[in-house]
Amino acid sequence: MKSFDYIRATSVAEAVQAGGTGARYIAGGTNLLDLMKLEVMAPDTLIDITRLGLDQIEELDNGGLRIGALVPNADLAADMRVRRGWPVLSRALLAGASGQLRNKATTGGNLLQRTRCYYFYDTAAPCNKREPGSGCAAMEGFNRILGVLGTSDHCIATHPSDMAVAMQVLDAEVEIEGKDGTRRVELDEFYRLPGDTPHIETVLAEGELITAVILPPAPGGKHVYQKVRDRASYAFALVSVACVAKVEGGVLEDISLAFGGLAPKPWRNRAVEDLLKGQAPSEALFEQAAETLLAEAKGHGSNDFKIPLTRRTLVSVLGEATKGAAA
């Protein structure tokens, strides 16, 4: 690990003041230290943000929830308000990592965790995300865990988070503090697609601090989070589907869907949702939804299997979300 200056910030203002080029915030440290040990990341300054009081979950006047950036994943998953009103979020969190990691991993850090692409971790391999312009070893290499949607010729990495997929289906917003004040960005707009700059992953400017994630009021309906992985626990998703569905009078009145393991960001495709809305649930309809979702999907060899796997997972999730409601 490269050496760095350590600063323990005592307020948001102090943290933001210290932030900027070469500096990194450290929250749970479960991703940043992992990468710093391998020198994939090598900040000059580490700003400890664990003592800023950003670890509260507050109810908002509109019925929504404000989740502090430092709320640990374990506490968020166990919060009774989340379990009752936004269960898809609890489910996604509980499907991720391990008990120990969830105790440390934070809301903000989870959103900003980096890809698990093997070559991103291997400093001897070319990787445009780690070293812009060096190439992409995954394109022709071992890419079974990598993306089939939203990728580019420069990078096919996926965003590995489970939590972010649930937040995406819930229309979450990210609250950001910078030297110029506070702003809010929809999670869907927060992540950038790789294009020819895969090293730039979000709209965060240097030194900006995530202070909270805002959830709109509890959506009701049936919540499902289905994660498919290589072992039953303590493994990243190959494919995951988050679903919030409302069935009324035998018809899918409303539905939101988000996907993990497929793309550089938690993936959402409104055309798929529009296709399902107002229709009576049926296997044929679900197959049509999968077709639309995967129309542009592109495999790279060892990850080709993700395309049929996603189709089957989506059909199964839609079946579960509408169970007993078939006309």
Partner 1 sequence: MQVSLDINGASVALDLDARTTLLDALRNHAGLTGSKKGCDHGQCGACTVMVNGRRINSCLTLAVMHEDDEITTVEGLAEGNTLSPLQRAFISHDGFQCGYCTPGQLCSATAMLDEAAKGWPSNVTADLENATPLTDEEISERMSGNICRCSCYPGIVEAIREAADAPAQKTGAEA
Ligand X SMILES: Cc1cc2nc3c(=O)[nH]c(=O)nc-3n(C[C@H](O)[C@H](O)[C@H](O)COP(=O)(O)OP(=O)(O)OC[C@H]3O[C@@H](n4cnc5c(N)ncnc54)[C@H](O)[C@@H]3O)c2cc1C
Residues lying near partner 1 in the complex (CB under 8 A) are found at: 1, 3-6, 8, 26, 28-30, 33-34, 37, 46, 48, 50, 74, 77-78, 80, 83-84, 87, 90-91, 94-95, 97-101, 103-104, 232-234
User: Contact between 240 and ligand X (CB under 6 A)?
Assistant: no
Distances from the Cα of 27 to the Cαs of 30, 103, 110, 140, 217, in angstroms?
8, 12, 10, 35, 27
Q: Is 102 in the site for ligand SF4 (CB under 6 A)?
A: no
**Three-state SS at 297:** coil
Task: For 78, list phi and psi in degrees, rounded to 5.
Answer: -90, -10
- What is the C-alpha radius of gyration for the chain, rounded to an integer number of angstroms? 20
Is residue 300 part of the contact set for ligand SF4 (CB under 6 A)?
no
Site string for ligand SF4, 155-174 (x = CB under 6 A): xxx-----------------
Reduce the DSSP state of residue 133 to 3 states and report it: coil
Q: Which of residues 112-171 bind ligand X (CB under 6 A)?
A: 112-113, 160-163
Query: What is the distance between the alpha carbons of residues 313 and 238, in angstroms, rounded to a whole number?
Result: 11
* Cβ distance to ligand X smaller for residue 139 or 164: 164
Is the Cα torsion angle 319, 285, 271, 143 positive or negative in sign? positive
Which is closer to ligand X, CB of 27 or CB of 257? 27
Indicate which single residue of 7, 35, 137, 297 sits in contact with ligand SF4 (rule: CB under 6 A): 137
Contact between residue 41 and residue 115 where contact means Cβ atoms under 8 Å apart: no
Residue matched to tokens 């409104």? 270
Which of ligand X, ligand SF4, partner 1, none binds 1 (CB below 5-8 Å, type-dependent)?
partner 1
Considering only residues 9, 16, 18, 32, which one is a binding residue for ligand X as defined by CB under 6 A? Answer: 32
Q: How far apart are the first and last CA of the chain?
A: 60
Count CB-CB contacts under 10 A for residue 78.
14
Residue 105 binds ligand X (CB under 6 A): yes
Q: Nearest approach, Cβ of 127 to ligand SF4 (angstroms)? A: 3
Within 183-212, the residues that bind ligand SF4 by CB under 6 A are 198
Q: Which of 141, 260, 150, 163 is nearest to 198 (CA)?
A: 150
What is the C-alpha to C-alpha distance for residues 49 and 31, in angstroms, rounded to an integer? 15
Q: 286 to 325, contacts with ligand X by CB under 6 A?
A: none
- 30 is a site residue for ligand X (CB under 6 A): yes
DSSP state of 182: E
- 14 near ligand X (CB under 6 A): no
Strand-pair partners of 57: 67
Q: How far is the CB of 228 from ligand X (least distance, A)?
A: 12
Q: Which residues bind ligand X (CB under 6 A)?
A: 24-32, 34, 49, 69, 96-97, 101, 104-106, 108-110, 112-113, 160-163, 209-210, 236
**Residues of the shown chain interacting with ligand SF4 in the complex, contacts defined by CB under 6 A:** 115, 117, 119-120, 127-129, 136-138, 146, 155-157, 198
